[in-house]
Each structure stands twice: as C-alpha cells, then as structure tokens.
C-alpha cells in the first residue's frame, strides 16, 4: 500500500480575573451558550499575521463539531476568541472563556508563545488545554504539564522527518545551508532542531521579527555566505510566501526547504514559484484523498463549506478536535481530572490515521509526510497547486524518545 511505504501569586490571579470579568460582561449573543451546552473555548488569532492559520484551524474545529455535535448527549458549543497572536491577549481570553463562558476545555494554539503563556497559568485556569499547532519542543518538553496536550508533531519530530528526507535525497546534505528564522519561540526551537540533523552544514543564519516586510538585508547575508540552500524556519503566516516571492524577484536561486511546507491557501499565492518545493515535515495533505475515503469526505465537506481545500492546519485541527470530543464523551465526568485521564487513554481513527496521546508527556503520537508541491492536473476548489505525498513517515520513524523530550514528568 502506497501510504505504508510513503506511510503568580493569588492576588495577581484575582486581580486579573476581576479585570477580565469587566470585559467579559459584553459577550456577543453568538457566543452565548445554553445552560445544558458543553462549552469548549477556542483560542486562536483571527486578526494579525497569524490569522490565516487561525482561520484554517477554526474551520477544522467547526467541522469536527458539526460531524460529532454532542458530548454525553449534550450539545457542544464552541466559543471562539481572538488571541491576536500575543501571549498576553491569549491569557486574557483564556481566562474569559473559563470564567464567563464556563469552558470545560481550551483548544487552539496557532503560536507556541501563546500556548506556553497560557500553560504557565494552567494550574490556576484548571482546565485541560489542547493545542493542534504549537510546534516548539518545550510545549510537551521542558514546560510539559498535566493540563497541556499536543496532537500535532513538534519541531524535533519535524527535524527527524527532514533528516529522513535528506537520507532519501543525500544531495541535500552536500549543500551549504543558510537558516532564516523568526525571532520567536517557535523560530528558535525549529532552527535548533534543524542544526541537529547529522551531517548538516550551516554557513549562516538571520533572525528577523515576525511581520518583517522587507527581507533585503537577509538576502545580502545569504549571498555573502556562499550558501546554495536556504532553510526557512519562518512561521507559516504571510511572511513565508512573502520571503519566497521577494527572494526570487531579488535573483536568489538557492534551493529552499520549508520544514513544514506551507498552507495550501498560501501556496497558491506563489504561482510558478510554488511548484517544486519539498519537505519532510508536512502535517497533512488533502491530496491523500486518493488513498483515504475519510480524507476525501473531509476535503469535499471542507470545500463545500469554505470554498477552498483544507491546509495542514485545518486537517490537524479537525483530527485534534475529534480526539478531544471522543475523550470528553468517554470521560467519567466533565470535571478536569476526568477529562485529563480520558485524553491520556483515548485513541480515534481520523483523517490523518489513528491518533492517540503518549501519556508520559502528552505528545500526540502522529507522523509527518514527505511531500512535494506540484501543479494540479485540474483545479480543486480553486487550488492549482497541492502537496503531493511522496512518503508517509509514521510516528515510530519520527518520534523523540521520552528521555530526550526534556519533560521531567507530569
């Protein structure tokens, strides 16, 4: 089968809570939940540079609830709040959803820094937190907690996947790599893990703030370094396709590796420059619909609802929410300890295959996909490019051993 081969102090808390309550009294009617509803708080950016990813994740969550609308016979209600991609706002809206909307669980986490900021107050928030996109290793590593769960691959797993890609294509190890990274938690985590790939030759690096509009100074550094390949540890917001477009117009012809690929919606904006990229760390591809009836159903449902194909973040969001809903339904109650126990012991079949949590560090036991961006023979929901899976890399091939995670126990 092709996929098998491819396969603070208390006072601070009270003061913060009171401040949030003053804001929360103006909740919109659309976010009001009936007394019998099971409320899940969704924290993600719907404005700002990360918003394309946040919207994809929101779409995936909504479809998952549409397909599994009840927990313990009660209607599931999603309350969505905009984190604006910042830790301070993320913590504020997390408190709001718990205190006002009585959310039993929080899910989201487009940005690792937002997830880690909320997790720092997890014991006070006292609800399970599930992220379907945080990639920084410390999320389930050094900053692991009994409250926090991750259902997507982390940076170390992505590095392992790209290491396998380089074994398959050894000419990549012969290249001189220049690393461009975002100066945020994820960027530092990702570039560090990339540097650990055996045999990799890095000749320079350039860190820039998220939201950088002009990359000319980084291009000059790349040219002077003698690099013939560029590793893009850039968060997959608008900056990534912008960098690629500017680099090509600037005359840079170096091979480029985006460790996670990029969302399909952004891939389309690159036009001719979008074809021919490869990655070992793609989180999911709608093009697997040719091999999976469940993926095909999801792609058609997503396309009918939103007019586009689902990107990797939407696919991961859908799968993570389905696991979350199954665990909440399985839990002996909707109290926090019961939901945590159920998340640790639930396994579900999803659009990315079987999904379960490693109990010891709360890392999702998932794989990645070695993929190439290709032109489609015929457009699919307006998309002319897509990520063709070369090989599926299962959990056992990319996982990080418990002793190496940095998690000292939950």
Res. 154: pLDDT tops 80: yes
- Specify the pTM: 0.87
CB 53 within 8 A of CB 236: yes
Fold of the CATH domain 2-153+293-366: Rossmann fold (3.40.50)
pLDDT the model gives residue 4: 40
Residue-by-residue DSSP string for 304-358: HHHSS---HHHHHHHHHHHHHHHHHHHSSSSSHHHHHHHHHT-EEEETTEEEEEE
Per-residue pLDDT of 173-210, as tens digits, reads 999 999 999 998 888 988 999 999 999 999 999 999 98
Q: Which of 104, 140, 145, 107 is nearest to 123 (CA)?
A: 145
Which pLDDT tens digit goes with each residue over 307-360?
Answer: 999 999 999 999 999 999 999 999 999 999 999 999 999 999 999 999 999 999
Q: State which of 89-98, 193-202, 263-272 shows the largest mean pLDDT.
A: 89-98
Residue 13 has pLDDT above 90, yes or no: no
Which pLDDT score is estimated for 265?
87
Alpha carbons 24 and 42: distance in angstroms, whole number:
15
The correct CATH number of 156-285+368-398 out of 3.40.50.2300, 3.40.50.12240, 3.40.190.10, 1.10.760.10 is 3.40.50.2300
CB 348 within 8 A of CB 326: yes
* pLDDT tens digits, 207-261: 999 889 899 999 999 999 999 999 998 877 678 888 999 999 999 999 999 888 8
| Domains in the chain: boundaries | 2-153+293-366, 156-285+368-398
Give the lowest-confidence range in 45-59, 157-171, 253-267, 379-393: 253-267
> For residues 104 and 336, what is the distance between their CA atoms, to the nearest angstrom?
7
Min mean pLDDT across 89-93, 260-264, 308-312, 390-394 is at: 260-264
Residues 6+ apart with CB under 8 A from 149: 128, 129, 130, 131, 140, 343, 357, 362, 364
């Amino acid at each position: 089968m092709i996929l098998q081969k491819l396969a603070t102090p208390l006072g601070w808390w009270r003061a913060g809570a009171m401040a949030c309550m003053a804001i929360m009294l103006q909740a919109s009617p659309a976010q009001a939940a009936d007394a019998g509803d099971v409320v899940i708080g969704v924290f993600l950016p719907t404005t700002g540079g990360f918003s394309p990813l946040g919207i994809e994740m929101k779409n995936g969550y909504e479809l998952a609830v549409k397909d599994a609308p009840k927990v313990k016979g009660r209607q599931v209600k999603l309350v969505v709040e905009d984190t604006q991609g910042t830790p301070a706002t993320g913590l504020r809206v997390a408190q709001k959803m718990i205190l006002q909307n009585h959310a039993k669980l929080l899910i989201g986490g487009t940005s690792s820094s937002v997830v880690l900021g909320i997790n720092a107050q997890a014991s006070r928030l006292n609800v399970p937190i599930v992220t379907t996109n945080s990639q920084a290793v410390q999320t389930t590593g050094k900053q692991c907690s009994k409250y926090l769960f991750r259902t997507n691959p982390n940076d170390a797993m992505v590095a392992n996947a790209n290491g396998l890609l380089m074994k398959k294509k050894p000419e990549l190890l012969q290249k001189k790599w220049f690393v461009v990274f975002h100066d945020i938690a994820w960027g530092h985590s990702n570039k560090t893990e990339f540097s650990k790939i055996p045999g990799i030759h890095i000749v320079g690096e350039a860190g820039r703030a998220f939201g950088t509009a002009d990359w000319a100074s980084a291009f000059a550094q790349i040219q002077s370094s003698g690099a013939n390949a560029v590793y893009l540890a850039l968060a997959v917001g608008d900056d990534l396709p912008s960098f690629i477009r500017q680099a090509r117009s600037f005359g840079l012809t170096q091979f480029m590796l985006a460790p996670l690929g990029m969302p399909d919606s952004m891939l389309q904006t690159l036009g001719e420059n979008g074809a021919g990229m490869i990655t070992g760390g793609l989180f999911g591809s709608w093009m697997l619909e040719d091999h999976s009836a469940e993926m095909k159903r999801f792609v058609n449902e997503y396309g009918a609802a939103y007019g586009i194909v689902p990107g990797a973040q939407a696919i991961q969001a859908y799968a993570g929410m389905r696991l979350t809903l199954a665990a909440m339904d399985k839990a002996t109650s909707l109290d926090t300890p019961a939901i945590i126990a159920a998340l640790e012991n639930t396994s579900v079949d999803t659009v990315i295959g079987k999904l379960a949590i490693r109990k010891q560090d709360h890392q999702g036991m998932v794989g990645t996909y070695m993929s190439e961006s290709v032109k489609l023979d015929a457009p699919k929901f307006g998309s002319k490019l897509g990520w063709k899976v070369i090989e599926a890399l299962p959990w056992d091939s990319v996982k990080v051993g418990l002793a190496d995670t940095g998690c000292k126990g939950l």
